[in-house]
Amino acid sequence: MSFLHDPFWQFIISTSIAIAGIIIPLAVGFVQSKGGGGSSSLSVSPSSNPVGCWIVPTIIVSMILIILVVFSGVVFAFVSNAISTFQISNLTSSTPNQTLNTYCQDVQSGDYQGAYDEYSAHLKSQVSSAQFTQMWVNKHLDSCTHDTVNTSGNQATTTLSTHDFFTRNSEMYSVTLIQDGSNGWKIDNIQRL
């Protein structure tokens, strides 16, 4: 049931409920007006059957409401996606701690491309994405943490430690981060100790 926390599915469910809330009463009214609702079948003029003269305006209003609900839902989904993407991109690169936390989460979860994106342009020129993936793919990390980050100007240093679940091996890495232009803080050097 975790999909219920996703804004897209919340939109789909609420839109379906709203559309059902419009269509069901409309259908019931239409069926009752066609069935006569206890009125005489001899009445032909619209003035003698006031229910029938409201069907067309009700359908038009219902269609307008459905279009508004769908349109507002699409706008909501687009805006919430844009905001969350903006927040994630700002959070992941705004401080050395956040860059390292993202790197660790990505390496542990197997999102190697996401972790590789935390490398600076300089480090990416030395290590390809395939080499990076090869370095981590056979490790099954149950822990990835970093020590306190020491920041000096546009550079930061710390120690990163990982623990493999199956082999029980721990490894330590010396990490240097830099402010990589508009990309924010990125890992510029990582060496096993």
Could you report the per-residue pLDDT of 97-136, keeping only the tens digit for each? 999 999 999 999 889 999 999 999 999 999 999 999 998 8
In 3-state terms, what secondary structure has residue 145?
Answer: strand
**Cα–Cα–Cα angle for 158, 164, 169, rounded to 5 degrees:** 80
Q: What is the distance between the alpha carbons of residues 71 and 7, in angstroms, rounded to a whole number?
A: 15
6-20 per-residue burial string, b: 16 or more CB within 10 A, e: under 16? eeeebbeeebeebee
Q: What is the distance between the alpha carbons of residues 179 and 188, in angstroms, rounded to a whole number?
A: 9
Predicted confidence band of residue 24 (pLDDT cuts 50, 70, 90): confident
Contact 186, 92 (CB under 8 A): no
Contact 164, 153 (CB under 8 A): no
| Res. 41: pLDDT tops 50 | no
- Give the per-residue pLDDT at 188: 93
**Cα maximum dimension of the chain:** 96
17 vs 134, higher pLDDT: 134
Contact 185, 177 (CB under 8 A): yes
Parallel, antiparallel or unpaired: strands 155-164 and 170-179: antiparallel
Q: What is the distance between the alpha carbons of residues 163 and 157, in angstroms, rounded to a whole number?
A: 20
Whether the CA torsion 186, 151, 89, 110 is positive or negative: it is positive
In 3-state terms, what secondary structure has residue 26?
Answer: helix
Q: What is the distance between the alpha carbons of residues 115 and 106, in angstroms, rounded to a whole number?
A: 5
Percent of the chain with pLDDT over 70: 75
| Res. 92: pLDDT tops 50 | no
Q: What is the distance between the alpha carbons of residues 144 and 100, in angstroms, rounded to a whole number?
A: 9
Q: Is this prediction's pTM over 0.75?
A: no
- Give the per-residue pLDDT at 52: 61
Structure tokens at 62: 């219902």
